[in-house]
A and B are shown apart, each in its own frame.
Chain A
Amino acid sequence: MSSTLVELEHISKSYGSKLIIDDLSLTIHENEFVTLLGPSGCGKTTTLRIIGGFEMPDSGRVLFEGRDITNTPPNHRNLNTVFQKYALFPNMTIAENIAFGLRISKKSKQYIDDKIKYALKLVNMEDFADRSVDSISGGQQQRVAIARAIVNEPKLLLLDEPLGALDLKLRQEMQYELIRLKNELGITFIYVTHDQEEALTMSDTVVVMNQGYIQQMGTPESIYNEPENAFVAAFIGDSNIIPGFMVQDKLVDILGVRFDCVDSGFGTNTPVDVVIRPEDVILGKPGEGRMDGRVTHIIFKGVHYEMEVMAGGFEWLVQSTVGHPVGEEVSISVDPFNIQIMNKPASEDEEAIKLDE
């Protein structure tokens, strides 16, 4: 991967007695799309605000291109922010909003005019230069906020839940738009959201946070397919989290039934948590699978049916394009590579995280 742009070193921050971020370290590379994902209050926005310079960490350092910027005010940082509620200046036109940063840095009129045109074109808002802020829709304000940030040619763009206020259709459109912008501009994005789908769709790297800790960091695929703990598994998508134990390498006991799996290195007869995604549970005729059960609920979700199946004393969440009526006897089986084994929480911190979720 390319060179390091931002490093957070052992950042801690609390408000009063409430610890928001606890000894957080994170490295972000140039041209990376990093998403901080987590429930509200997990410290993701505070982390972003510390990078932006709006909050001071209680301890730890922020490095930007290797330089310590912990005490640098926001107006001297080479980055820009797209705020949650856009924060466009209502007393200025769209063009004046976009020109704000350029006028502050005393660029020539010609340069500013060119930049406004370029930025408006980039966000498909060419005809809106002289409109007032309150005459355009939320989605359009969103685009202007992005344009206003990127004309300053920052190395880093911080986005604080920028799509949160938009409706679903527009949100999906803007997701593609943001990916396109990031690729065209070649700048680094740090994106904060609580929407796991948004995070998986857009990011190169997803950082899952909870209770001020980084729970897991990795590509969207690895976060989804190989969650490291129960919090990540539960937060990203739906999942069945079942207590079990490793009999030996590549063999796990779930609810008294042995399943082949692909994980090893957990020792023998070790208690573990097993994660199985609902779309990976295969339903068949009774006796054909690993264990038998009975369908207790079914809902039609559009793309698939979502069912609950009582088997082995556990209520399995199952998604399938084939529906089975309530009361039908079925069998359950799972392909070995779809069984994800996680360590049981070891430390008290991890335990607390699990209890609090």
Chain B
Amino acid sequence: MNKRSFTAPYIIWIIGGTLIPLAMMFYYGLTDESGTWTLQNILAIFEPGNLRALWKSLLYSAACTVVCLLLSYPIALILRNVKRAKGVIVFIFLLPMWVNFLLRTMAWQVLLEKGGVINGILSWIGLPKARLINTPGAIIMGMVYDFLPFMLLPINNVLSKVPNSLTEAAYDLGASKAQVITKVLLPLSVPGIVSGITMVFVPALTTFVISNMLGGGKILLIGNIIEQEFTVGDNWNLGAGLSIVMMIFILVSMAFIAKFDKKGEGLA
């Protein structure tokens, strides 16, 4: 046995888990039901319904990413100065991740539905019931809840590695506390922000579970459309074609993001 044979499991994994499925996806995506080559499954993205779903997906996942960023950054800044309880606080943020993803989303369903917990509290204090579930707000809320840790962790990682001497040096050179953040901490945490954005934006862009459960099937994201082509519509070719489009979307955004995160520090 030479050293090379140790790579066998990984080669099998790559071939069986990545290359063959990808090839299948491209085959289905670039052919029609009779097996002739066509681009119509790709071009189907330009149909009004699909285009609208893609636009909504982009909008919601962008909103989710921005909200996650705005929530995470201040926490990460605070955590920088926390010494003893830091591990506990990060742990609390991670805790929900250990609950099954579907269960977590379902919990929001129970909270937001018409006769749900939140409306129960509203009517108990004498306020009118609000329509919460099946709204864009509910979907974005669910996305933020599910993906927040993926934003917080990389930012926290990078920020807590910035030595105190750097912020002290900036302070010493005349910077105000706000300037210490904008001129030193923010630029140094770009790698963390960038990988946080990738890790939130990409899954939010393609999710169909959250929009299914909190959108009541009324709000279709691109993920829902692809899912339906496979399950309900039984049109694997179209589903695969749209998936290819999404993949290209994600690859382009990753390439764009990689420009910022040259050192890959955020993922460390």
Chain B residues contacting A83 (CB-CB under 8 Å) are 165, 168-169
Distance of A88 Cα from B183 Cα, bound (Å): 13
**Among A9-17, A98-106, A266-274, which stretch is in contact with chain B?**
A98-106
Would you call B175 an interface residue if the criterion is a C-beta within 8 Å of the partner chain's C-beta atoms? Answer: yes
Among B161-193, those with CB < 8 Å from A are: 163, 165-166, 168-176, 179, 183-184, 187-188
Q: Taking the nearest CB of chain B, how far is it from the CB of A238, in angstroms? A: 34
Q: Taking the nearest CB of chain B, how far is it from the CB of A307, in angstroms? A: 45
In the complex, the chain A residue whose C-beta lies closest to that of B166 is: A87
Interface pair A87/B184, CB less than 8 Å apart = no
Among A40-96, those with CB < 8 Å from B are: 52-54, 73-75, 80-81, 83-85, 87-91
Interface size class of B (residues with CB under 8 A): 10 to 19
Contact of B187 among A73, A75, A88, A91 (CB under 8 A): A91
Contact of A101 among B165, B166, B174, B184 (CB under 8 A): B174
Distance of A105 Cα from B172 Cα, bound (Å): 12
With A74-B168, A101-B174, A105-B174 as known contacts, state yes or no: A85 contacts B187, CB within 8 Å.
no
With A83-B165, A87-B165 as known contacts, state yes or no: A152 contacts B188, CB within 8 Å.
no
Interface pair A74/B188, CB less than 8 Å apart = no
Number of interface residues of A (CB under 8 A): 23
Chain A residues contacting B187 (CB-CB under 8 Å) are 91
Most buried by A among B174, B176, B184, B187: B174
Distance of A84 Cα from B172 Cα, bound (Å): 14
Q: Taking the nearest CB of chain A, how far is it from the CB of B159, in angstroms? A: 13
Interface string of A22-50 (1 = CB under 8 A from B): 00000000000000000000000000000
Interface pair B168/A91, CB less than 8 Å apart = no
Interface pair B172/A52, CB less than 8 Å apart = yes
Interface pair A84/B174, CB less than 8 Å apart = no
Contact of B173 among A84, A90, A91, A148 (CB under 8 A): A148
Distance of A105 Cα from B173 Cα, bound (Å): 9
Distance of A91 Cα from B169 Cα, bound (Å): 14
Q: Taking the nearest CB of chain A, how far is it from the CB of B91, in angstroms? A: 26
Interface pair A85/B163, CB less than 8 Å apart = yes
Distance of A88 Cα from B173 Cα, bound (Å): 12
Chain A residues contacting B169 (CB-CB under 8 Å) are 81, 83, 87-89
Interface pair B173/A54, CB less than 8 Å apart = no
Interface pair B175/A54, CB less than 8 Å apart = no
Most buried by A among B170, B173, B176, B183: B173
Chain B residues contacting A85 (CB-CB under 8 Å) are 163, 165
Distance of A54 Cα from B179 Cα, bound (Å): 17
Most buried by A among B165, B169, B179, B183: B169
Q: Taking the nearest CB of chain A, how far is it from the CB of B236, in angstroms? A: 48
In the complex, the chain A residue whose C-beta lies closest to that of B189 is: A91
Interface pair B172/A74, CB less than 8 Å apart = yes
Interface string of B176-219 (1 = CB under 8 A from A): 10010001100110000000000000000000000000000000
Chain B residues contacting A105 (CB-CB under 8 Å) are 174
Interface pair B174/A54, CB less than 8 Å apart = no
Chain A residues contacting B168 (CB-CB under 8 Å) are 54, 74, 81, 83, 87
Interface pair B171/A75, CB less than 8 Å apart = yes
With A73-B171, A74-B172, A80-B172 as known contacts, state yes or no: A104 contacts B179, CB within 8 Å.
yes
Interface pair B174/A152, CB less than 8 Å apart = yes
Interface pair A84/B171, CB less than 8 Å apart = no
With A84-B165, A85-B165 as known contacts, state yes or no: A75 contacts B188, CB within 8 Å.
no
Interface pair B175/A104, CB less than 8 Å apart = yes
Distance of A66 Cα from B170 Cα, bound (Å): 26
Distance of A40 Cα from B165 Cα, bound (Å): 19
Q: Taking the nearest CB of chain B, how far is it from the CB of A96, in angstroms? A: 10
Chain A residues contacting B171 (CB-CB under 8 Å) are 54, 73-75
Chain B residues contacting A101 (CB-CB under 8 Å) are 173-174
Q: Taking the nearest CB of chain A, how far is it from the CB of B97, in angstroms? A: 31
Distance of A124 Cα from B131 Cα, bound (Å): 70
Distance of A89 Cα from B183 Cα, bound (Å): 10
In the complex, the chain B residue whose C-beta lies closest to that of A100 is: B173
With A87-B163, A87-B166, A104-B179 as known contacts, state yes or no: A81 contacts B174, CB within 8 Å.
no
Interface pair B188/A90, CB less than 8 Å apart = yes
Distance of A52 Cα from B170 Cα, bound (Å): 13
Among A94-140, those with CB < 8 Å from B are: 100-101, 104-105
Chain A residues contacting B188 (CB-CB under 8 Å) are 89-91
20 residue pairs bridging A and B, Cβ less than 8 Å apart: A52-B172, A53-B172, A54-B172, A73-B171, A74-B168, A74-B171, A75-B173, A75-B176, A81-B169, A84-B165, A85-B163, A87-B166, A100-B170, A100-B173, A100-B175, A104-B173, A104-B174, A104-B175, A148-B173, A149-B172
Given A54-B171, A83-B169, 14 extra CB contacts under 8 A: A53-B172, A54-B172, A75-B173, A80-B172, A81-B168, A83-B168, A84-B165, A88-B169, A89-B166, A89-B169, A100-B173, A105-B174, A148-B173, A149-B172
Measured CB to CB, the residues of A under 8 A from B are 52-54, 73-75, 80-81, 83-85, 87-91, 100-101, 104-105, 148-149, 152
6 closest residue pairs by CB, A with B: A101-B173, A87-B165, A87-B169, A104-B174, A91-B187, A81-B172
